[in-house]
Chains A and B, each alone.
Chain A
Amino acid sequence: DAGVTQSPTHLIKTRGQQVTLRCSPKSGHDTVSWYQQALGQGPQFIFQYYEEEERQRGNFPDRFSGHQFPNYSSELNVNALLLGDSALYLCASSLQGAGAYEQYFGPGTRLTVT
């Protein structure tokens, strides 16, 4: 049973560029959440996708956008990159429904903006 996978593992971009990160959820899961973890900090919620729609959003600017595909995989897009966007981006998958509150995390994508 494959867990949550993310690609790429590492990425280096220049200020002003755009980046796309990808996530495949754990088998059987239908919900994907994205988190940003700056160095030395706890993860911060960016947004969550369910049924191909953004269900909830954290305090992140519109430069951060996402998408969920019919197979439940998801993309996180960040436009006009800033140095402060350098972080570990974590994807978590879960299942909607009664009692389904456990989120499974992927290994993350380390984004460095220079």
Chain B
Amino acid sequence: AQSVTQLDSQVPVFEEAPVELRCNYSSSVSVYLFWYVQYPNQGLQLLLKYLSGSTLVKGINGFEAEFNKSQTSFHLRKPSVHISDTAEYFCAVSDYQGAQKLVFGQGTRLTINP
């Protein structure tokens, strides 16, 4: 079984500042890793995914994440945030078994202050 821990429930930052949202996972098998964003009163939108290959993955809206197998982490970063990045961010994992079941973390609320 897999589990995901998002280490910060809320992250406030100023506009144009860098941000890092932290995610750690636990699994007895190899996993695929995902970051989703949820804007108020909306569903989830995929930001980026790690399936294999380069451990640094780039996604939409200027976000990137780095897979660290030894630390079982998949932290999300953006060098300069905008007001429009205010949203809930979810880290998720799925296993290699092909079932595509996603296990989500509790979410991190990113608040951008002007």
Contacts and interface: CB of A to CB of B under 8 A. Distances in A.
Interface in B79-114: 90, 92, 94, 98-107
B99 A106 contact: no
The interface size bin for chain B is 20 to 34
B44 A43 contact: yes
Contacts of B107: 40-42
Interface in A38-62: 40-45, 48, 55-56, 58
B100 A103 contact: yes
Contacts, number: 59
Nearest to B44: A105
A55 B43 contact: no
Contact of A105 (B43, B51, B99, B106): B43
Contacts of B45: 105
A47 to B, nearest CB: 9
B43 A108 contact: yes
A55 B23 CA distance: 28
B94 A101 contact: yes
A31 B94 CA distance: 15
Contacts of B99: 48, 55-56
Given A40-B107, A42-B105, A96-B98, 17 more contacts: A4-B43, A33-B100, A33-B101, A42-B92, A43-B44, A43-B90, A44-B104, A45-B102, A45-B103, A48-B99, A55-B99, A56-B99, A102-B46, A103-B102, A105-B44, A107-B43, A108-B42
18 contacts: A33-B100, A33-B101, A35-B102, A40-B107, A42-B104, A43-B102, A45-B101, A45-B102, A48-B101, A55-B99, A90-B44, A101-B32, A101-B51, A101-B94, A101-B100, A102-B46, A105-B44, A105-B45
Interface of B: 4, 32, 36, 42-46, 49, 51, 90, 92, 94, 98-107
Please name the 5 residue pairs, one residue from A and one from B, whose CB atoms are nearest each other, closest first: A42-B104, A105-B44, A105-B43, A107-B43, A56-B99
